[in-house]
């Protein structure tokens, strides 16, 4: 029986007892006031009916119990239950209304509480909406920033004061790939990556000096201090670097005038520019000095010739000198014209543009300005042009306008091809059959008019600025005679473009920034004392020809991802097949899916291991069953001279530590227990990704067991049973 | 008779200079490169050198420096196609007595040669 029931029965018993006592007192009073005869009469009347009296008394207790039960329900239990339910709603954020029970007053109270719950729910909803709206805005801003960064034609790298990279754009990634010594293997990822040191590329002293200059200017109150320097990277490429400060921000979001938290580097590969400059100088030098010498020789010869005393023999010699020098001068000018037309061209801001982009823009402009259909003819190879697109497009619209009006053409096709280190851009049309010949055309020398726009220059002016030319030709084809206006344009060197597939491996926009890295990190601390969640890791996996690395089995694939600041940097991965220079056992192919054809022509371990070493520099190595993977690396030490001496964590051992009651700790089981989807299991990169996810989930579980630092994790790992396994 | 050394690797200017100096009554020596010029300076002791700045083996500046290191007071006129101020400055700093940028007037060259040789004859006059 519940306690409340007992209490209720207790109360009923008490009332019964009170009634009995009252009856006894009444009887006592009667006995006291009645004379003995009357008392005897009363006793005589009741005599033998005591049982009936007791029964009546007991029956009287039933309505008492019912009344009491009602009162307790209405005024005791109902408020208590209401209090419990209200507390539950309060603590669990449950927004369901509380059922109104009990007396009228309690029901009113319940309604008030339900109103409060409703209000709280509305407030929470509004708050959630505002938070998610703010989150959406932040995400949009982030996406915009990322998009902007990736579109910039300059390389942008943002570092904290320790020189750790916390943001970079696509261009920087490409540029650093070109600077990388092992770019073919690592894709430059060993140089450019979040949390990596910029000093792997740029001289620490040079950056330090620039930093000092910027800081000094900041202290002096300069509004936009910056420093510039030129440096040569390890690969011999020349970089022009501009440094600007990232100022510290106060609590109100205002930039502090003289405190820096990091710096922005705008880097530009000026190797080609420098070569072009050197060539320009050479040409100018040849022109000035060579011409001066020739002029000197000629002038001296002429002045001597003026002397009547000169004999015939000398006269002939001097005339030969003059002829030779004039010829030399003209040869020099000819050479200059041939080779320097690009280098010495006027300083128009010519930019590199993909030919297909220019054609697309031209088609759109022509079709919107004229009642003409414009189409692309043929396939455009990846032709890069060096042009000033605005005036060139105006010029093209001008030409299309003339073709339309003078030749009645309603369809103009554009084609672009490469010939003799020049680009040929043709506007092709079918001539008016009613005319015997085309009218006199001098369109290139008319002021450009494109729709409502009129320029002060002619198409020829524009082309001359490009070192180009133009003319009209006719061609006979299957469809009869066609005319085309040909424009000769300069080519640009192909741009650094990533294949589109680069970003398709992982969904979503790659993260090229992590502003949390602005916070001071723990690199100055002893590695063992560093907290697990703050460390940088290289999580890797190897695929091999077999399970006996010491017995001659070779690595055929290495896959790795880095974890920086608790985030997996999926876009900075290392994924490389290796030619093992030995057959791959047929039985192992179904496991890793790597066939002999796939590793043919791939780099050997001698090239891949140094690249992987550079990739994993300054990080803790992590692998699942690391003893095996480390053995694979270790047996190659003597051959490659590459030693991996950084600390190693093993997710197998860590899992055994935190899930000691589980029997199995293989990668599939762990992934299942943590609810992870495995993509590309048994490829090195796929397994490395899963291992990285598992590590991130193990770190908080380790913390619950008091394992916070790398030193503690290593020590605890050593004590597990699995640590005894050797390869 | 005063000796003039013409040090220039360009035969086309040497023809004119040789005629010019001989017409003025000087004995003419000819060197086709810097090393030959130094050898002739040492063994023939010319009174004045017309020294081209850009020559094979040793440049005119190298020759000038070598001569001045020996504390020689030999008169030297640098002839050069380089018209940059810094080259002129360098020539003067290394001790050239005069510096002429090509193309120059032969009359002016003769005048400068005469003036320098006159200074040698009457050092007290300078």
In tens, the pLDDT along B80-92 reads 887 666 677 778 8
Quote the pLDDT of residue A709.
92
Give the whole-angstrom CA distance, residue A271 versus residue A239. 7
ipTM value for the complex: 0.80
Cα A508 from chain centroid (whole Å): 9
Q: Which residues of chain B neighbour A314 with C-beta distances below 8 Å?
A: 15, 19
* Residues, chain A: 727
Q: Which of A209, A406, A682, A708 is catalytic?
A: A682
B83 touches chain A (CB under 8 A): yes
Give the sign of the dihedral formed by CA A534, CA A571, CA A264, CA A196.
positive
In tens, the pLDDT along A657-684 reads 887 766 678 888 888 877 777 666 678 8
Quote the pLDDT of residue A287.
78
In tens, the pLDDT along B4-38 reads 999 999 899 999 999 999 998 999 999 999 999 99
Instruction: Read off the pLDDT of each residue in A231-258 and give the average, rounded to a whole number.
Output: 76
Helix H or strand E encompassing A523: none
pLDDT over threshold 60, residue A488: yes
SS3 A481: strand
Structural domains in chain B plus CATH codes? 3-125 (3.40.50.2300)
B110 touches chain A (CB under 8 A): no
Check B13 against A298: CB less than 8 A apart: no
CA distance A282 to chain B (A): 13
Quote the pLDDT of residue B124.
46
Structural domains in chain A plus CATH codes? 1-140 (no CATH), 152-269 (3.30.450.20), 273-340 (1.10.287), 351-490 (3.30.565.10), 525-724 (3.30.420.10)
Check A288 against B81: CB less than 8 A apart: yes
Check A292 against B16: CB less than 8 A apart: no
Q: Which residues of chain A neighbour B106 with C-beta distances below 8 Å?
A: 299-300, 303-304
Instruction: Pick the residue of B20, B53, B106 with the most A CBs within 10 A to test the interface with A by mutation.
Output: B106
Cα A100 from chain centroid (whole Å): 54
Mean pLDDT is highest, among A277-286, A595-604, A661-670, for A595-604
Quote the pLDDT of residue A438.
55
% chain A with pLDDT above 70 = 86
In tens, the pLDDT along A56-101 reads 888 888 888 899 888 888 888 788 888 887 877 776 667 788 888 8
Q: Which two tokens stand for residue A227?
A: 């420093």
In tens, the pLDDT along A404-429 reads 888 888 899 999 988 878 889 999 99
Question: Measuring CA to CA, which residue among A106, A115, A110, A116 is closest to residue A98?
Answer: A110
Check B103 against A321: CB less than 8 A apart: no
Which residue from B15, B102, B106 is facing A293, i.e. has the nearest CB? Answer: B102
Q: Place A566 in a pLDDT band, splitting at 50, 70 and 90.
A: confident
% chain B with pLDDT above 70 = 92
Instruction: Read off the pLDDT of each residue in A353-368 and give the average, rounded to a whole number.
Output: 86
Give the whole-angstrom CA distance, residue A321 versus residue A302. 10
Quote the pLDDT of residue A556.
93
pLDDT over threshold 60, residue B65: yes
Instruction: Pick the residue of A281, A291, A296 with the most B CBs within 10 A to test the interface with B by mutation.
Output: A296
Catalytic (active site) residue A682: yes
Of A399-408, A453-462, A582-591, minimum mean pLDDT range: A453-462
pLDDT over threshold 60, residue B63: yes
Task: Quickly list DSSP for A528-590.
Answer: GGSBGGGS-EEEEEEEESSS-GGGT--EEEEEEEEEETTEEEEEEEEEEE-B-SSPPPGGGHH
Q: Place A648 in a pLDDT band, splitting at 50, 70 and 90.
A: very high
**Tokens 């450009």 appear where?**
A448
Residue, of A1 and A451, whose pLDDT is higher: A451
pLDDT over threshold 80, residue A436: no
Check B16 against A309: CB less than 8 A apart: no
């Amino acid at each position: 029986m519940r306690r409340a029931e007992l209490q209720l029965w207790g109360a009923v018993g008490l009332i019964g007892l009170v009634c009995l006592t009252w009856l006894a007192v009444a009887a006592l009073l009667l006995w006291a006031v009645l004379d003995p005869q009357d008392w005897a009469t009363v006793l005589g009347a009741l005599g033998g009916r005591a049982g009936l009296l007791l029964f009546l008394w007991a029956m009287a207790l039933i309505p008492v119990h019912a009344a009491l039960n009602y009162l307790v329900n209405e005024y005791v239990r109902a408020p208590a239950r209401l209090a419990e339910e209200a507390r539950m709603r309060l603590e669990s954020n449950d927004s369901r209304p509380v059922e109104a029970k009990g007396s009228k007053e309690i029901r009113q109270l319940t309604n008030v509480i339900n109103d409060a719950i409703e209000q709280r729910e509305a407030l929470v909803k509004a708050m959630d909406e505002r938070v998610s709206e703010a989150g959406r805005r932040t995400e949009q801003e982030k996406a915009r920033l990322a998009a902007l960064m990736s579109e910039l034609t300059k390389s942008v790298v943002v570092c904290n004061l320790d020189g750790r990279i916390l943001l970079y754009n696509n261009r920087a990634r490409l540029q650093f790939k070109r600077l990388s010594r092992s770019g073919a293997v690592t894709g430059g990822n060993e140089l450019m990556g979040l949390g990596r040191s910029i000093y792997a590329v740029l001289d620490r002293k040079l950056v330090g000096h620039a930093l000092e200059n910027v800081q000094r200017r900041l202290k002096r109150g300069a509004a936009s201090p910056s420093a510039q320097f030129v440096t040569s990277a390890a690969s011999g490429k020349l970089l022009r670097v501009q440094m600007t400060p990232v100022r510290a921000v106060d609590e109100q979001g205002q930039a502090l005038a003289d405190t820096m938290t990091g710096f922005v580097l705008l880097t530009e590969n000026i190797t080609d520019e420098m070569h072009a400059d050197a060539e320009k100088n050479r040409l100018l030098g040849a022109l000035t000095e060579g011409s001066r010498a020739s002029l000197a020789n000629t002038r001296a010869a002429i002045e001597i010739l003026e002397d009547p005393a000169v004999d015939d023999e000398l006269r002939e010699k001097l005339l030969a000198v003059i002829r030779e020098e004039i010829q030399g001068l003209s040869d020099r000018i000819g050479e200059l014209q041939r080779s320097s037309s690009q280098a010495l061209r006027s300083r128009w801001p010519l930019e590199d543009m993909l030919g297909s982009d220019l054609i697309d823009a031209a088609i759109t402009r022509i079709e919107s300005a004229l009642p003409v259909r414009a189409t692309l003819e043929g396939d455009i190879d990846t032709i890069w042009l060096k042009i000033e697109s605005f005036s060139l497009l105006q010029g093209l619209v001008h030409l299309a306008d003339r073709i339309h009006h003078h030749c009645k053409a309603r369809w103009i096709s554009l084609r672009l091809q490469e010939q003799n280190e020049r680009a040929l851009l043709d506007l092709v049309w079918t001539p008016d059959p009613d005319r015997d010949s085309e009218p006199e055309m001098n369109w290139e020398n008319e002021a450009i008019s494109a729709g409502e726009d009129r320029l002060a220059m002619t198409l020829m002016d524009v082309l001359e600025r490009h070192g180009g030319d133009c003319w009209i030709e006719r061609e006979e084809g299957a469809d009869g005679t066609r005319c085309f206006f040909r424009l000769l344009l300069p080519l640009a060197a192909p741009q650094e473009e990533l294949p589109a597939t680069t970003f398709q491996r992982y969904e979503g926009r790659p993260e090229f920034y992590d502003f949390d890295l602005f916070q001071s990190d723990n690199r100055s601390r002893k590695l063992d004392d560093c907290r697990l969640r703050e460390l940088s890791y290289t999580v890797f996996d190897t695929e091999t020809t077999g399970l006996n690395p010491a017995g001659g089995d070779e690595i055929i694939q290495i896959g790795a991802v880095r974890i920086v600041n608790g985030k997996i940097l999926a876009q900075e991965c290392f994924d490389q097949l290796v030619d093992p220079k030995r057959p791959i056992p047929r039985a192992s192919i179904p496991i890793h899916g790597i066939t002999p054809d796939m590793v043919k022509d791939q780099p050997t371990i001698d090239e891949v291991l140094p690249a992987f070493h550079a990739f994993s520099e300054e990080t803790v190595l992590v692998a699942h069953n690391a003893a095996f993977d480390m053995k694979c690396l270790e047996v190659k030490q003597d051959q490659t001279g590459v030693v991996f001496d950084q600390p190693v964590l093993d997710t197998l051992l860590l899992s055994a530590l935190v899930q000691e009651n589980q029997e199995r700790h293989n990668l599939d089981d762990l992934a299942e227990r943590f609810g992870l989807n495995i993509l590309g299991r048994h490829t090195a990169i796929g397994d490395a990704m899963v291992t990285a996810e598992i590590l991130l989930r193990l770190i908080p579980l380790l913390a619950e067991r008091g394992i916070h630092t790398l030193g503690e994790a290593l020590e605890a790992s050593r004590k597990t049973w699995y640590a005894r396994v050797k390869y | 008779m005063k000796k003039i050394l013409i040090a220039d690797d360009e035969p086309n200017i040497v023809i004119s200079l040789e005629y010019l100096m001989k017409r003025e009554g000087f004995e003419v020596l000819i060197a086709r490169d810097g090393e030959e010029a130094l050898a002739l300076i040492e063994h023939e002791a010319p009174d004045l050198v017309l020294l081209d700045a850009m020559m094979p083996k040793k440049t005119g500046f190298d020759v000038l420096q070598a001569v001045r290191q020996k504390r020689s007071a030999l008169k030297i006129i640098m002839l050069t196609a380089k018209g940059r101020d810094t080259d002129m400055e360098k020539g003067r700093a290394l001790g050239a007595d005069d510096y002429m940028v090509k193309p120059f007037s032969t009359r002016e060259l003769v005048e400068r040669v005469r003036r320098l040789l006159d200074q040698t004859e009457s050092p007290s006059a300078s």
